Amino acid sequence: MSRNWQNLRVWNGSQNKAFEELCCQLARCEKVPPGSTFVRKADPDAGVECYWKLPNGDELGWQAKFFLFSPNRTQWQQLDESVKRALEKHPRLTSYTICLPIDRPDPRINEEVSFMDKWTKHVEKWKKWVQEKRMSVQFPYWGEHEIWERLTKDKHVGRRYFWFNEEEFNTQWAKKHIKIALADAGERYAPHFLNNASLNVKLPMANLFEGLGRTDEFWSELRRLYGRAKRAYSKANRETIISILEAIGEEEINSLLHNSKIQSDGLFKKTNGGYTFLKNIGELRDLDIYNTDLQSDKFHDLQNLWLRVNWRKILEKLLHVISNNLDLEFEKIDLETIAQLSSQGTEATWMCVYASRRAKEKHDKEPRSKEGIDRKNLENYSDYRLSELIGELQGLNNFVQSPRALLVNKPAILLVGDALVGKTHLFCDIALERIKKALPTILILGQHLMSAGSPWNQLLEELGLSCTREQFIGALDAWGQAKSSRVLLIIDALNEGNGKVI
């Protein structure tokens, strides 16, 4: 067994978990086609610790086992079971990399079955299972050589430092330094407020750090708003309601699609004889005219009609985009598209409300009948459900455009304020609350940055670290990935000491 594996830090109570996480972090750094999505799985993992989902839907999976010696019979059975589950639960799997912290001896001695011999035999068995499922899967092997070949690259220098220096970059280490910072903050931090529920008031600004840190609270809020919008759309998306909207649409199509002012705008298909205008609402549905700006009142009416006939399409695309962004750990969240579609969906739903109300006004003028009363009740119900959906869409739109959400895609925030307004108290409070949740956090007081030298050297000295800047940054990255959370490096009062010079 390599001396390096003996020094592997314990993670979540075992070196087994540490090895799994290390392999997943290395897998995340593998070169894959643009547009691929990385997924880190928790237990139970269905035979796959993590996988890359490629743009075409194919998957590249990894399985890690902390076997320090050539696998015995029981351990080979564990590998067999993992392969079976992976093939069953991941039908689009095309590569299944098995990671062990040992290389495969191949002495080629007569009558001796080596690790390499056993590996070859098991791969042959696994490929038969693959053929039975009509799949095509390769089985690469990451042993000690393949893993350390990656770890010794410059881009992994910090990752190597993190995983093989257990005394640093963990919750207890961070808590120790935060306690020192809290004590040094003196009167600027008032812990008695935290122990008095009637005095302690959580500042609204604290919510910004939920987005900055990509905390569970942020994701819970996004999932809550997504769920409410999805349920509201489901209630509004009923055939009885749609029948009202489409009936009005057919009446408007005759007056709008054949309007001479719109035809003369030259928006549509160009032919030798001029421009051929749309003939029906189906062609309108497939045309993207939302962002087209033509100076015509009738064209504005046509845009509104386009919004209504594409109501379902807009809302379903919105829900699909949000759903695809809920599993992202560190990748950029497509807030811009979500904001655009939620705004567009709100407008489209308002057009549906207006159509429903016009239908109601029309039937109010007709003679009373049981059928008419039933339809009026339906129109009232339609109005209520659509208005409910508008409220949920507006709430979603406000959230994704808020500073709290925008900080999800930005790795830094600069907080500026007058003296004695509570900046230090806020930072100390945030650091303390995060470390109670075991979220990776470092708090530094600017008053300790006294020299005009490199700020990195001063930070490292303040934290008692002997590593390089590259190792420090890489270790922070590995710490955050292992915790599935951003690391917050909080520096209070940067203008104190020689902060301005820095």
Q: Which domains does the chain have, with CATH numbers?
A: 3-152 (3.40.91), 171-201+410-492 (no CATH), 217-401 (no CATH)
Q: What is the mean pLDDT of residues 4-21?
A: 92
Pairing mode, strands 93-99 and 59-64: parallel
Residue 239 predicted with pLDDT over 50: yes
Backbone angles phi, psi at 139, to 5 degrees: -125, 75
Q: What integer best gives the mean pLDDT of the chain?
A: 83
Are 298 and 262 within 8 A, CB to CB? yes
Q: Is the pLDDT of residue 395 over 90?
A: yes
Residue of higher predicted confidence among 249 and 343: 343
Q: Give the pLDDT of residue 244.
A: 58
Residue 257 has pLDDT above 60, yes or no: no
Percentage of the chain exceeding pLDDT 90: 51
Looking at residue 408, its pLDDT comes to 93
Query: How sure is the predictor about 501, in pLDDT bands with cuts at 50, 70 and 90?
Result: low
* Euclidean distance between CA atoms 166 and 155, whole angstroms: 20
| pTM for this prediction | 0.77
Question: What token pair was written down for 119?
Answer: 């590996």
Residue 153's pLDDT band (cuts 50, 70, 90):
very high
- Answer with the residue of higher pLDDT: 304 or 375: 304
Rg (CA), the chain: 30
Return d(Cα 285, Cα 415) in angstroms, integer: 47
Contact 20, 10 (CB under 8 A): no
Average pLDDT value for residue range 108-131: 91
State the alpha helices, DSSP H only, in 60-201: 73-89, 115-132, 144-151, 157-163, 171-185, 191-194
So what's the pLDDT on residue 194?
A: 46
Residue/partner pairs of 38-44 with CB below 8 Å, 24 or more apart: 38/329, 38/331, 39/327, 40/329, 40/484
- Where is pLDDT greater, at 202 or 303? 303
The residue that leads in pLDDT, 84 or 242, is 84
Encode burial over 393-403: b for 16+ CB neighbours within 10 A, e otherwise: bbebbebbbee
Q: What is the pLDDT of residues 315-374, one digit of tens each?
A: 999 999 999 998 788 889 999 999 999 999 999 899 888 877 776 666 656 565 545 445
What is the arithmetic mean of pLDDT over 254-266?
Answer: 52
By percentage, how much of the chain surpasses pLDDT 70? 78
pLDDT for the residue 500: 61
- Answer whether residue 476 shows pLDDT above 70: yes
**Helix, strand, or coil here: 94?**
strand
pLDDT of residue 308: 74
